[in-house]
Amino acid sequence: MYKIVKRKELNKTVTLMEIYAPFVANKAEPGQFIILRVDEQGERIPLTIADYDRAAGTVTIIFQIVGATTKKLNMKKENEYIQDFVGPLGRATETEGVKNVAVVGGGVGAAIAYPVAKKFFEKGANVTTIVGFRNKDLVILEKEFKAVSNKFVLMSDDGSAGQKGLVTNALKDLIESGQKFDKVITIGPLVMMKFVSLLTKEYNIPTVASMNPIMIDGTGMCGGCRLSVGGKIRFACVDGPEFDAHLIDFDEAIARSGTYSDFEKHSYEKTCNLFKGADANG
């Protein structure tokens, strides 16, 4: 059993939890993920490591409430426990030899982008962070990003936070203004990562995309995170989750990403009804 030592709602659908898991915290690196189960009957889900504190023995996860399991997890309170917390898994972000990096995050993908930006910053790289959200109510980790960025750019679709526009608009403006990047890391919705990749390919900037959004089982057995990279089949959880963005077949990944959407919606609604019934019965 793993204790929830901190719980914080970042917005209406996104929650941060710090879990006491010293063995995981001791080896965790940016880009990696864990697999958890809320209880003995729960399904296993992968969540990216958002931060870690080796001294305190804690690992931070940030999740969006999108299905039955994240709904159950969100019902947990501080000082309560979750059943399993396994990791770290996946390949860590490669940070060696990079002097100027742009970290581009979108939506809840910002939670994955943060530890990556932090690691580069700690290693002395010049870090430009660009994060985008639909509106001001969905913004997360703004203060944290500013603390680990030499330049921070906040974008929103409606202009209610930061600048109005897409993350690709901000990235293109910086590139055309003369900003040089050794590498771009992009983490967020598949469509966003696709267009970041298309942009950086025009300027011949090496780019890495985190394919965490398509992971389901986290072990490679379900096949849900299968994708084509350079014409070869890869699995996000086993071979990644980070890949050369210019080699990823994003159109294929986007088409496959909606396969389980109806099932997830049904499972989420069923779980919500169970909680409503429990509340009604006291």
Summarize pLDDT for 81-118 with one digit per residue, the tens: 999 999 898 888 888 889 999 999 999 889 889 999 99
Summarize pLDDT for 208-225 with one digit per residue, the tens: 998 877 666 555 555 566
Strands, DSSP E only, in the chain? 2-9, 14-20, 33-37, 45-53, 58-64, 81-82, 84-89, 100-106, 126-133, 151-156, 163-164, 183-187, 207-210, 226-229, 232-235, 242-244
- pLDDT tops 70 at residue 231: yes
Summarize pLDDT for 150-175 with one digit per residue, the tens: 999 999 999 999 999 999 999 999 99
Indicate the domain borders of the chain. Answer: 2-89
- pLDDT tops 60 at residue 275: no
- Judge if the upstream peptide bond of residue 88 is cis by omega within 30 degrees of 0: yes
Q: Which own/partner pairs from 23-27 qualify as long-range (CB within 8 Å, at least 24 positions apart)?
A: 24/52, 24/59, 24/85, 24/86, 24/87, 24/88, 25/52, 25/53, 25/54, 25/56, 25/57, 25/58, 25/59, 26/54, 26/57, 27/88
Q: What is the pTM of this model?
A: 0.82
* Other residues' Cβ atoms within 10 Å of the Cβ of residue 227: 22
- Residue listed under structure tokens 């469509």: 191
Summarize pLDDT for 6-34 with one digit per residue, the tens: 999 998 889 999 999 999 999 999 988 89
Beta-bridged to residue 84, according to DSSP, are 37
**The pLDDT value given to residue 44:** 85
**Average pLDDT over all residues of the chain:** 85
Cα(97)–Cα(95) distance, rounded to whole angstroms? 7
For residue 39, with 0-12 CB atoms within 10 Å meaning exposed, 13-18 middle and 19 or more buried, which class applies? middle
Residue range 2-89, CATH number: 2.40.30.10
* Other residues' Cβ atoms within 10 Å of the Cβ of residue 74: 17
